[in-house]
């Protein structure tokens, strides 16, 4: 594992992360938050790949209303490495734009790692080793490579990869063909996947060469690719061309249709931090439960997730709450209803409280 001068990283940073309201806002989405009081999720994402690729080869693709916060958080990135979508068109146009941009900078043999901006990784060395092996496989096979995460629970919220034949050894790892992509399973099926050991989570981390991606786009999304080629020839026409591209996900439009996809099995202690309960697992343990606070006092209380940096929080007689405090808003929510934060946002929108969205 080392800096290989042909590796570029594309960080997908257009998500809104409404489940982290009230800390997340339109202009400060999930990836721009620090959940543990330290570096933000997108800062951690960039920090994590810097041993593989210098800042000059890290590109971030995001939306206009969050680009300011992202640029501020990533001062090491050249301004031209922050690509601003004129509007969101789902992930296939986004990845495709990244592909033509990397082709312009690094040529057709450059290798691209596509990474989400808002995930957490416990063992960063392990992730880098996985990405490095995936990059070697991408160079050596010309296949599209996806990182496949070893399941740790019978999760029904993710898609899965069904493993096929061995696909060669790269940097000491045995990669596998992906036999097929599986949609989010029901609970019983997910239990079977966990027990069977033949399915991995599809986590949106991809590695491929520019030429392999270009060929896959040209074959499976030819109109989109034609639009992206026009964009490559006339970058100033972004605002006209980009909004015409088909709204379709990279998973569905490219990965699931591609003739050969291989996976590098990975167990780096990954989390997509899907909401406050998941975020709690990354907060310090405290008598309150899991908490980022100045100090906590609990009387017959506990099991809560509390995010109130620099504040004293005193809980009396309450259990299993999610409590999130900001300068202008406070959420107190039963832990088993934490996903209803989206409904709160809908109510705020309907009432015209736009500054709180």
Q: Identify the residue among 27, 321, 349, 354 touching its own copies (CB under 8 A).
A: 321
Q: Identify the residue among 72, 236, 285, 300 touching its own copies (CB under 8 A).
A: 300
Q: How far is the CB of 308 from its own copies (least distance, A)?
A: 6
104 makes contact with its own copies (CB under 8 A): no
Q: How far is the CB of 22 from its own copies (least distance, A)?
A: 7
258 prior amide bond cis, ω within 30: no
284 makes contact with its own copies (CB under 8 A): no
Instruction: In whole angstroms, give the CA distance from residue 41 to residue 44.
Output: 5
Find the angle CA(99)-CA(246)-CA(243) to the nearest 5 degrees.
85
330 makes contact with its own copies (CB under 8 A): yes
336 makes contact with its own copies (CB under 8 A): yes
Stretch of 3-11, 244-252, 260-268, 323-331 contacting its own copies, by CB under 8 A: 323-331
Give the DSSP letter string of 78-120. Answer: -GGGEEEESS---HHHHHHHHHHHHHHHH-TT-EEEEEESS-E
**Considering just the CA atoms, what is the radius of gyration of the chain in Å?**
21
Q: Identify the residue among 294, 305, 309, 349 touching its own copies (CB under 8 A).
A: 294
Instruction: In whole angstroms, give the CA distance from residue 82 to residue 48.
Output: 18
313 makes contact with its own copies (CB under 8 A): yes
Q: How far is the CB of 298 from its own copies (least distance, A)?
A: 9
178 makes contact with its own copies (CB under 8 A): no
Q: How far is the CB of 287 from its own copies (least distance, A)?
A: 10
Q: 244 Cβ partners below 8 Å, 6+ apart?
A: 227
Instruction: In whole angstroms, give the CA distance from residue 41 to residue 38.
Output: 9
Which of 184, 151, 169, 126 has its CA nearest to residue 262? 169
Q: Contact residues for its own copies (CB under 8 A)?
A: 22, 294-295, 297, 299-300, 308, 310-318, 321, 323, 325, 328-334, 336-338, 340-341, 343-344, 347-348, 351, 353, 356
């Amino acid at each position: 594992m080392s800096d290989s001068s042909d590796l570029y990283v594309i960080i997908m940073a257009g998500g809104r992360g409404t489940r982290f309201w009230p800390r997340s806002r339109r202009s400060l989405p999930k990836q721009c938050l620090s959940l543990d009081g330290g570096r933000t999720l997108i800062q951690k994402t960039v920090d994590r790949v810097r041993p593989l690729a210098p800042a000059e080869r890290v590109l971030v693709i995001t939306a206009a209303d969050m680009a300011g916060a992202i640029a501020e958080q990533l001062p090491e990135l050249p301004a031209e490495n922050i690509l601003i979508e004129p509007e969101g068109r789902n992930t296939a146009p986004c990845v495709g734009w990244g592909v033509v941009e990397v082709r312009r900078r690094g040529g057709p043999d450059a290798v691209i790692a596509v990474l989400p901006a808002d995930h957490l990784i416990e063992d960063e060395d392990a992730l880098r080793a996985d990405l490095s092996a995936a990059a070697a496989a991408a160079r050596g096979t010309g296949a599209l490579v996806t990182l496949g995460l070893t399941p740790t629970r019978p999760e029904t919220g993710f898609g899965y990869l069904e493993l096929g034949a061995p696909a060669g050894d790269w940097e000491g790892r045995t990669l596998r063909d992906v036999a097929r992509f599986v949609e989010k399973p029901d609970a019983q099926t997910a239990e079977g996947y966990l027990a069977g050991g033949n399915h991995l989570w599809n986590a949106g981390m991809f590695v491929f060469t520019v030429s392999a991606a270009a060929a896959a786009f040209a074959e499976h999304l030819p109109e989109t690719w034609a639009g992206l080629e026009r964009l490559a020839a006339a970058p100033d026409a972004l605002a006209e061309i980009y909004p015409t591209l088909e709204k379709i996900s990279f998973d569905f439009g490219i990965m699931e249709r591609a003739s050969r996809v291989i996976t590098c099995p990975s167990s780096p202690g990954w989390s997509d931090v899907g909401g406050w309960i998941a975020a709690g697992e990354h907060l310090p343990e405290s008598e309150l439960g899991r908490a980022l606070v100045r100090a906590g006092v609990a009387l017959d209380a506990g099991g809560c997730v509390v995010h109130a940096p620099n504040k004293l929080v005193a809980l009396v007689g309450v259990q299993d709450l999610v409590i999130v405090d900001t300068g202008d808003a406070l959420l107190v929510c039963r832990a088993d209803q934490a996903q209803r934060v989206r409904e709160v946002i809908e109510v705020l929108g309907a009432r015209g409280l736009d500054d709180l969205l």
